[in-house]
Structure 1
Amino acid sequence: MIYYISDEDVKKYLDIKECINELRDAFTSYGNKKSYANARDRIYGDNFILNTMPAYYEKYNIAGLKTYISGKNGVRFVVIIFDVSDPEKLFIIDANTLGQIRTGALTAMVTSLLINKKTINYTLIGSGFQAETQLKAMASIYDLNNVYMYSKNYEHALNFSKKFDFNIKASRDLSVLKDSDVITSVTNSKTPIFDYSMLPEKYHINLVGSNIIGRREANNDVLDNSDIVISENLDQSMKEASEIIDMKNKNKIVELKDFIINVNKYKVNKSVFKSMGIGLEDIAAGYIVLKNMKVI
């Protein structure tokens, strides 16, 4: 039997805090070699790119992939999940909102492993589609003392700041970084938005905005001067993440699956997480939807 799950279903049944907890379990399982994920594969056509991201999640005995096609006619995301114990059950989930929620949940989960404070100052760079769930996810695990919103277009930052009940301060420049415990950049910038000189003595940075070679949000010196750089999949990062490809010392790169099972090994003041997206995140988030809908 084939089940189709709409974007509206995802909005209704995928809770961001529940997603944070599930992603923690998924990467712990991955680190313990019980679950698996491959790097993104791309097929390039004349006018389109077909992307596939397969994974297996042992906790629920599910396997599947996120796949999406993008090109001049638009983009469409879906997650396909098989119940391994009953392959006749096939779930196809619209994944536009799912990807937005799981991306916010993922950066919040990783941040929680590195920043132990209850209250933080938070800067969000970029006011587009992904920014809202970045903020909501961070607010679900931290008390946000100061929230700064920066966009290259100040009016966009101002409009974003009016959408929420949080006390969000739209900023005309990035001097606010010096007052930030956590910084998330979620833009499509092709050139660096900030450099190391603009940062405080201690920080955690989430770089979320691109999985396409040639784009970069942070200057080279940010990653080179950080204590640790976390990647979901190093092979994928070496193909798609300009910031990681250009690092001088790649020995400081740690895959998230290895970091999460050895958190106490790392005592750092300056950390960067470069998020690219892997299929394990999507099938874990998709399972939450299916479970809450009571179809699996």
Structure 2
Amino acid sequence: MLVLTKEDIKKVFTMKDAIEADKDALRIYSAGKCVSPLRVNIDIPKEQGQSLFMPAYVEEFDATGIKIVSVFPKNIEKGKPSVPAQMILLDGTTGEVCAILDGTYLTQLRTGAVQGAATDILAKKDAKIGVLFGTGGQAATQLEAMVCVRNLEEVRVFDINYERAKEFAETMQRELAAYDTEIVAVENGNEAVRNADIITCVTTSRRPVFDGTLVKKGAHVNGVGAYTPQMQELDENIVKNADKVFFDTKEGVLAEAGDFLIPMEKGIVSEQDFNGELGEVILGQILGRETDEEITLFKTVGAAVLDVVTAHQIYKKAIENNVGNVVEI
């Protein structure tokens, strides 16, 4: 069994690699060529957290596995990742465990990459201004994915804690220096979105983090953070007014995402207002962006197929490059 740490993964797998892996996963999911049931969520009310169990099987890669991931927002105060996790990868031909990967970094990587895939497919090619809401454990890869797929001049970072936003922006300016993008902390999220081309939200907020009426024509919006029926980081106006709306998985979003369940319950939108899955766009079954005036919206709640495909591709590269620690069990 191969054990792969965050540093092992970073040695062999880039954000571009992860974006392509997620595109494969979305394509496979929308084609109905995998088994990826809804995750099992167990609430941990004492810590205001949840533990999630996410299995999948992908025949195309002879891979199966389960990710065990928890979301504990208060971990930030303890200096620990807010999304600790482990990924257990199995050989789909024998059922044997072939690898255990750092699931925290895998989650960060594939979650950033699925937003990167959506932004690459749906955002205008000449996008220049980005906005990122949230600076938690998922934020760094979200920012990297945005600048990886578009040549952005500026990304504005907003957090309810402005000092944390400043510290994050300064750190990311150093870490992403190769992209030549100015990363700045802002105190007013609504002002930040007024002329933004790409807006990405990665928070656990239970109320909208910006005014959806301020989104300009031609912008692309990503809802990444809210993953329960009670969370709602996206304003109902943007959900209603977006010209096209796409999901990572329709089943997952309409079962778990308060961003859509809450306005649907109010009768503001209905299932008929949504275009479909990003995988269907990749397959050519439905159209993505058609004009520079359209506002596009992408919502992801995550799916185990993303983890299994990404973990499998990482495992292959690690084997090829002799990276990781082999453990006999």
* TM-score normalised by length of structure 2: 0.81
CA offsets, 1:86-134, max 9 Å, x none?
3335322220011111111110101111124144211111122211111
Q: Residue 78 of structure 1: CA displacement?
A: 1.6
CA offsets, 1:15-44, max 9 Å, x none?
111110111122222222323322112345
The amino acid across from 2:105 in the alignment is T
Q: Residue 263 of structure 1: CA displacement?
A: 6.5
Alignment: residue pair count: 295
**1:57 aligns to 2:58 (yes or no):** yes
Gapped runs of 5+ residues in structure 2? 76-81, 323-329
Conservation of the 8 A alpha-carbon contact between 1:125 and 1:150: yes
Could you say which residue in structure 1 is the equivalent of 2:93? 85
Conservation of the 8 A alpha-carbon contact between 1:29 and 1:58: no
Q: Residue 279 of structure 1: CA displacement?
A: 0.5
- Structure 2 SS opposite 1:59: helix
Moved more, 180-189 or 40-49: 40-49
- Structure 1 SS opposite 2:210: coil
Q: Residue 231 of structure 1: CA displacement?
A: 1.9
- Structure 2 SS opposite 1:281: helix
Structure 1 pair 76/176, CA: closer, same or farther in 2 (3 Å)? Answer: closer
Moved more, 169-178 or 106-115: 169-178
CA offsets, 1:244-290, max 9 Å, x none?
11232221221233233236624361121111111111112212221
Q: Residue 230 of structure 1: CA displacement?
A: 1.8
Could you say which residue in structure 1 is the equivalent of 2:284? 262
Structure 1 pair 29/237, CA: closer, same or farther in 2 (3 Å)? Answer: closer
Conservation of the 8 A alpha-carbon contact between 1:227 and 1:252: no
Conservation of the 8 A alpha-carbon contact between 2:249 and 2:300: no
Structure 1 pair 252/58, CA: closer, same or farther in 2 (3 Å)? Answer: farther
Could you say which residue in structure 1 is the equivalent of 2:184? 169
Structure with the larger strand share: 1
Conservation of the 8 A alpha-carbon contact between 1:192 and 1:219: yes
The amino acid across from 2:8 in the alignment is D
Could you say which residue in structure 2 is the equivalent of 1:140? 148
CA–CA distance in structure 1, aligned partners of residues 218 and 236 of structure 2: 18
Q: Of residues 228, 241, 248 in structure 2, which corresponds to 1:232?
A: 248
Conservation of the 8 A alpha-carbon contact between 1:80 and 1:93: yes
Structure 1 pair 149/70, CA: closer, same or farther in 2 (3 Å)? Answer: closer
Structure with the larger helix share: 2
CA–CA distance in structure 2, aligned partners of residues 56 and 18 of structure 1: 20
Conservation of the 8 A alpha-carbon contact between 1:13 and 1:288: no
CA–CA distance in structure 2, aligned partners of residues 220 and 99 of structure 1: 27
Moved more, 69-78 or 35-44: 69-78
**1:292 aligns to 2:300 (yes or no):** no
CA–CA distance in structure 1, aligned partners of residues 200 and 285 of structure 2: 21
Structure 1 pair 288/144, CA: closer, same or farther in 2 (3 Å)? Answer: same
* TM-score normalised by length of structure 1: 0.89
The percentage of aligned residue pairs carrying the same residue is 28
Q: Of residues 249, 256, 269 in structure 1, which corresponds to 2:270?
A: 249
**1:111 aligns to 2:150 (yes or no):** no
Structure 1 pair 169/181, CA: closer, same or farther in 2 (3 Å)? Answer: same
Structure 1 pair 171/64, CA: closer, same or farther in 2 (3 Å)? Answer: same
Conservation of the 8 A alpha-carbon contact between 2:197 and 2:219: yes
Structure 1 pair 85/273, CA: closer, same or farther in 2 (3 Å)? Answer: same
Conservation of the 8 A alpha-carbon contact between 1:113 and 1:263: no
